[in-house]
């Protein structure tokens, strides 16, 4: 992957996971600690986004 | 002292302390328009983070998000989603906006359109839409403040007068300090909000249902299906959810106060670092949602706008007055600090893009700062007047305000990517997008459950493309230079 494209892909993944993917994860099971899968999915991606943007940042700097 | 006096006293001390902090932080700087409106383009990662967090986490985050969790359930998760999406987009977009802002000396959001499309008339249109969207946002914060003061005062006094005094004080604060004051006042606000939100999100569910798991199980038992979205095009269903995330995220940085914050960054990396750290801050919303769910267990049965009060009422029922005061103080600052940025941005766009650029008055630095300051007070009075007259109606209008701001997206995106985009095209696109909003809002037209802001944006982009192709091609050299500046 090109070094200009890779950061865009890294940012696009959480963007899609938290928007267009929502209809596919809108269910209760499998739940975790009483939380519906929908909420688990969202929180996981909210937590992952800073790491993915940080990776994008480092890749950009190497250009 | 009565409990009401304790709680309200703490609120008053917090508001004054935040103002003093802001005034000290902004002291001794020459108030050129550059310093006053965009902090002299000198903010590093930390001050920028404070400013953006200060603008974003408003009393809506406090009362609105808890109210959503209480009144609607799973649809409230959208408030968790749109922040990270916005930062993922802003990571790429805001450094470009900042770079052209510095190269061409832009001070306001509409300046972007003036420079790129070489049209003060288009910038005037953007100013009008931005201003009309901003005022309901200010009035919403006033309503939030009113709710907080009513509850903190144990319903013993009518807080409309107190809200008016608070707004005028805060306008005087903006008059004195400008954008740098907002960033400094955010220190106290963010610190207080973080402490209160984490407390409310952990202690309330613990006390009421034995923790997060107990709270979620109690909610699901009492309201089966509450924690997942309704399918398809149902009200607040899946389609609504995706549309709300996309529109909120795309419009996020294009609010007038958001553009000012972007310009205030000293370089692109400050904005990129900010985009990395702010999504983690979105997790704070999760704590608020749990507080809202806990309130639903402890105090069921509140309907409509009263749902927004549930969280505060539970705090009042369960905890001593001083703690209620601290929670209300965090909420009051969460209402007032964003208002400082909103008043400043509203005044800036009118001073710069209407009075100076269109009417040619107040074009030197001194008179422009003086005019902006006068307009800060005028915007505050206008918002206050509208709030007294149209209170509830304007809250509904806020949802439309977000959709209005989203109509700037095609002009900004095409600005960096399509040479043929012309002022007529972008202007016609914005008007077409607004027409869609008016048709759905005023006449209740339904478009298969799709978000009207999103449909408006699509129509907007289509009209902008077609009209641009039918108008004269803009100067290619200008576009090349603009794009070169965006690359820093």
Assigned domain for B203 exists: yes
Q: How far apart are CA B277 and CA B64, in angstroms?
A: 23
Domain boundary among B334, B368, B392: B392
pLDDT score for B155: 80
Mean pLDDT of chain A: 90
Total domain count, chain B: 2
**Tokens 């328009």 identify what position?**
B33
> Are the beta carbons of B332 and B167 closer than 8 angstroms?
no
Q: B80 and B36: one domain?
A: yes
Question: Among B231, B238, B245, whose Cβ lies nearest the Cβ of A18?
Answer: B245
| Residues 6 or more apart whose Cβ sits within 8 Å of residue B314 | B204, B208, B291, B294, B295, B298, B299
Q: B421 and B388: one domain?
A: no
pLDDT score for B395: 53
The dihedrals phi and psi of B371, each to the nearest 5 degrees, come to -65, -45
Total domain count, chain A: 1
Average pLDDT over residues A18-22: 93
Q: B443 and B297: one domain?
A: no
Assigned domain for B80 exists: yes
DSSP-derived secondary structure letter, A28: S
Assigned domain for B108 exists: yes
A3 in contact with B, Cβ within 8 Å: no
pLDDT category, A43, cuts 50, 70, 90? Answer: very high
Q: Which residues of A touch B228 (CB under 8 A)?
A: 26-28, 36, 38
Assigned domain for B329 exists: yes
What would the two tokens of residue B89 be? 């987009």
Q: Which residues of A touch B245 (CB under 8 A)?
A: 18-19, 22
Q: How far apart are CA B301 and CA B384, in angstroms?
A: 31
**Domain around A31:** 5-61
Domain boundary among B331, B357, B392: B392
Q: B146 and B221: one domain?
A: yes
**Domain around B79:** 3-392
The interface predicted TM-score (ipTM) is 0.94
pLDDT category, A2, cuts 50, 70, 90? Answer: low
Task: Please count the CA atoms within 13 angstroms of the CA of B344 that sit on its side-chain side.
Answer: 35
Q: How far apart are CA B428 and CA B421, in angstroms?
A: 11
pLDDT score for B480: 93
- Residues of chain B falling short of pLDDT 70: 30, 391-399, 442-446, 448-449
Q: B160 and B303: one domain?
A: yes
User: Shortest Cα distance from B439 to chain A (angstroms)?
Assistant: 26
pLDDT score for B279: 84
B238 in contact with A, Cβ within 8 Å: yes
Residues within 8 A of A (CB atoms), B 44-83 only: 74, 77, 80-83
Assigned domain for B402 exists: no
Q: Do B238 and A23 touch (CB under 8 A)?
A: yes
Query: Which tens digits make up the pLDDT trace of B276-321?
Result: 988 877 888 899 999 999 999 999 888 877 888 888 899 999 999 9
Q: B150 and B299: one domain?
A: yes
Q: B418 and B381: one domain?
A: no
pLDDT score for B470: 93
Nearest Cα neighbor of B179 from B255, B107, B124, B131 is B107
Q: How far apart are CA A63 and CA B43, in angstroms?
A: 25
Q: B267 and B243: one domain?
A: yes
Q: Which residues of A touch B212 (CB under 8 A)?
A: 33-35
What CATH number does the domain containing B11 carry? 1.20.1730.10
- Residue B2 has a CB neighbour count (10 Å cut-off) of 11
> Are the beta carbons of A41 and B264 closer than 8 angstroms?
no
């Amino acid at each position: 992957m090109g070094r200009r494209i890779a950061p865009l892909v890294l940012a696009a993944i959480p963007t899609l996971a938290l928007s267009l993917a929502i209809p596919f994860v809108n269910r209760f099971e499998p739940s975790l600690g009483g939380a519906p899968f929908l909420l688990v999915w969202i929180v996981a991606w909210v937590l992952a986004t800073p790491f993915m943007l940080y990776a994008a940042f480092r890749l950009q700097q190497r250009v | 002292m009565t409990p009401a006096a304790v709680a309200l006293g703490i609120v008053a001390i917090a508001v004054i302390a935040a103002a003093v902090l802001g005034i000290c932080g902004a002291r001794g700087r020459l108030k050129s328009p550059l310093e006053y409106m965009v902090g002299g383009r000198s903010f590093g990662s930390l001050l920028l983070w404070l400013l953006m967090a200060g603008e974003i986490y408003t009393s809506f985050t406090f009362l609105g998000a808890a109210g959503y969790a209480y009144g609607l359930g799973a649809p409230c998760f959208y408030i968790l989603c749109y922040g990270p999406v916005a930062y993922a987009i802003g990571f790429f977009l805001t450094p470009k906006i900042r770079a052209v802002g510095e190269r061409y000396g832009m001070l306001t959001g509409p300046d972007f359109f003036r420079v790129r499309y070489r049209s003060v008339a288009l910038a005037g249109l953007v100013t009008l839409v931005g201003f009309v969207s901003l005022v309901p946002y200010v009035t919403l914060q006033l309503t939030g403040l009113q709710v907080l003061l009513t509850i903190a005062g144990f319903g013993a006094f009518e807080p409309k007068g107190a809200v008016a005094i608070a707004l005028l004080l805060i306008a005087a604060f903006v008059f004195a300090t400008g954008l740098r004051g907002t960033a400094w006042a955010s220190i106290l606000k963010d610190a207080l909000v973080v402490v209160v939100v984490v407390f409310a999100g952990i202690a309330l569910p613990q006390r009421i249902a034995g923790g997060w798991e107990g709270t979620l199980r109690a909610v699901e038992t009492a309201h089966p299906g509450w924690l997942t979205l309704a399918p398809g095009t149902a009200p607040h269903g899946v389609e609504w959810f995706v549309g709300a995330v996309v529109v909120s995220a795309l419009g996020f940085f294009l609010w007038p106060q958001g553009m000012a914050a972007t310009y205030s960054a000293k370089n692109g990396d400050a904005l990129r670092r900010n985009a990395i750290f702010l999504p983690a801050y979105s997790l704070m919303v999760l704590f608020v949602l749990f507080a809202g769910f806990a309130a639903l267990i402890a105090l069921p049965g509140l309907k409509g706008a009263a749902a927004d009060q549930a969280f505060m009422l539970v705090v009042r029922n369960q905890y001593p007055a001083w703690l209620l005061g601290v929670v209300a103080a965090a909420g009051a600052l969460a209402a007032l600090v964003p208002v400082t940025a909103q008043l400043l941005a509203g005044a800036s766009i009118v001073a710069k893009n209407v009075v100076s650029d269109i009417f040619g008055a107040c074009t030197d630095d001194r008179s422009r700062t003086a005019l902006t300051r006068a307009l800060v007070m005028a915007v505050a009075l206008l918002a206050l007047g509208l709030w007294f007259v149209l209170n509830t109606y304007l809250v509904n209008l806020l949802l439309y305000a977000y959709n209005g701001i989203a109509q700037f997206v095609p002009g900004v995106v095409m600005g960096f990517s399509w040479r043929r985009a012309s002022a007529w095209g972008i202007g016609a696109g914005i008007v077409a997008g607004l027409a869609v909003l008016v048709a759905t809002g005023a006449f209740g037209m339904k478009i298969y459950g799709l978000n009207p802001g999103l449909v408006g944006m699509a129509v907007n982009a289509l009209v902008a493309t077609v009209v641009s192709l039918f108008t004269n091609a803009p100067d290619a050299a200008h576009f090349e230079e603009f794009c070169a500046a965006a690359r820093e």
